[in-house]
Amino acid sequence: CVREGWSEKLKTQSNEGCNINGNLLVNKVRGNFHIAPGRSFQQSHMHVHDMQSYFAGAQEGAKFDFSHVIHHLRFGEAVSKTDMSNPLDNTSKTTDQRELEVGMMYQYFLKIVSTEFRFLNKPDIFTNQYSVTQHERVLNGGTMNGLPGLFFNFEISPMLIIYKESRTSFTSFLTGVCAIVGGIFTVAGMIDGFIYRAERTLKRKMEMGKAL
């Protein structure tokens, strides 16, 4: 490794991060997906991470930075930003120096609702929208009361939201125009009657004053 220069390459890349991009297939049940250190395996039907290397590196002074930026996260087919936005898009978290020494656990609790978009001039879109609650916790360096990393806990709602694009008919347009015109005439008649009565009252008072 020394002869081929790999030690120098590892040093130059020691402070670099990762860019994760891809798709996951999840069941329509409550669950989670996460990004955490350590080799993962199944034990007694449980998902477990081997943290031995992580603890060994921490004891040797290694610092694991869990700062991250979520550029885009969605469930289902993509929809334009004007129709629907994803609350976790462009979310940024920074781990400070104290937290680097003990580890950080970032949790995102997602409530997913099935959504259908029905357009007039293009195919319907079946996708999902979600709300999110964020929580972060500093882990104890000695006992490690949790697993460091990023955790996305999602729950599927049994509801379905439908956004339907519609266009009013020509008869509805005419009805609205007639209602507006009738309202204008009604208000104009009321103003005209008020001005006429006020003028008659003033003229009558002036005539009574001349008689006296």
Distances (CA, A) of 66 to 81, 92, 95, 121, 172: 28, 11, 6, 45, 58
Closest to 91 in 3D by CA, of 118, 57, 67: 67
The pLDDT of residue 172 is 82
Q: How confident is the model at residue 128, as a pLDDT? A: 93
pLDDT at 61: 64
pLDDT reported for residue 144? 55
By CB atoms closer than 10 A (0-12, 13-18, 19+), residue 30 is exposed
pLDDT for the residue 2: 67
CA distance 47 to 75: 23
Q: How far is CA 155 from the centre of its chain?
A: 15
Alpha helices (H) in the chain, listed in sequence order = 6-12, 52-59, 97-102, 170-211
Q: Residue 109 has what pLDDT?
A: 96
- Structure confidence at residue 70 (pLDDT): 94
What is the per-residue pLDDT for 58?
65
The single residue listed with the structure tokens 């081929």 is: 4
pLDDT number for residue 212 = 44
pLDDT value at residue 126:
92
- pLDDT on residue 88: 93
Specify the 3-state DSSP secondary structure of 107.
strand
Sites in the chain below the pLDDT cut of 70: 1-2, 57-62, 98-99, 101-102, 140-145, 209-212
